[in-house]
Amino acid sequence: MEEHYTIGALSRAAGVNVETIRYYEKIGLLKTPLRASNSYRYYNHAAVQRLQFIRRGRELGFGIAEIATLLELADHPERPCCEADQLAQTHLRDVEQKIKDLQAMQLVLQQIVTCQSDIAADCKLIETLGSH
């Protein structure tokens, strides 16, 4: 059970690339790992889980600061989770707003893309952007 990982093994296990792991360490999202005599980083299974937690958070669109808060909470299961709820709700609203913004773009772009003209003079896209 006493598995340990080099940074490359951790990378594969958690699905996060090596440079990113070092970056997370630098910004304090991952605590500094043990070092072997050759100064290589060595990680344990807990690090894999922590990194997977981070990756899943990122996949849901949470920012680094938000994930740091969530990790803190995960480390202290006795604390109230209203902060996590708050984060999730705010983030959901952000996501929904982004979807709306993108759908508005989509609508305009769909109208433009039907353009069949040959020259820029009557290209719908150019016309749309240049209209007063």
Partner DNA sequence: CTTGACCCTGTAGTAACTACAGAGTTTATG
Partner DNA sequence: CATAAACTCTGTAGTTACTACAGGGTCAAG
Spatial contact of 105 and 94, defined as CB atoms under 8 Å apart: no
Q: Is residue 65 close enough to count as binding a copy of itself by CB under 8 A?
A: no
How many chain residues are in contact with DNA, going by CB under 7 A? 21
Binding site partner of 23, from DNA, a copy of itself, none, Cβ cut-off 5-8 A by kind:
DNA
Q: For residues 20 and 69, which CB has a smaller minimum distance to DNA in the complex? A: 20
Q: For residues 36 and 104, which CB has a smaller minimum distance to DNA in the complex? A: 36
Q: How far apart are the first and last CA of the chain?
A: 69
Residue closest to 72 by CA, chosen among 57, 90, 60: 57
Q: Is residue 125 close enough to count as binding a copy of itself by CB under 8 A?
A: yes
Q: Is residue 88 close enough to count as binding DNA by CB under 7 A?
A: no
What count of other Cβ atoms lies within 10 Å of the Cβ of residue 51? Answer: 22
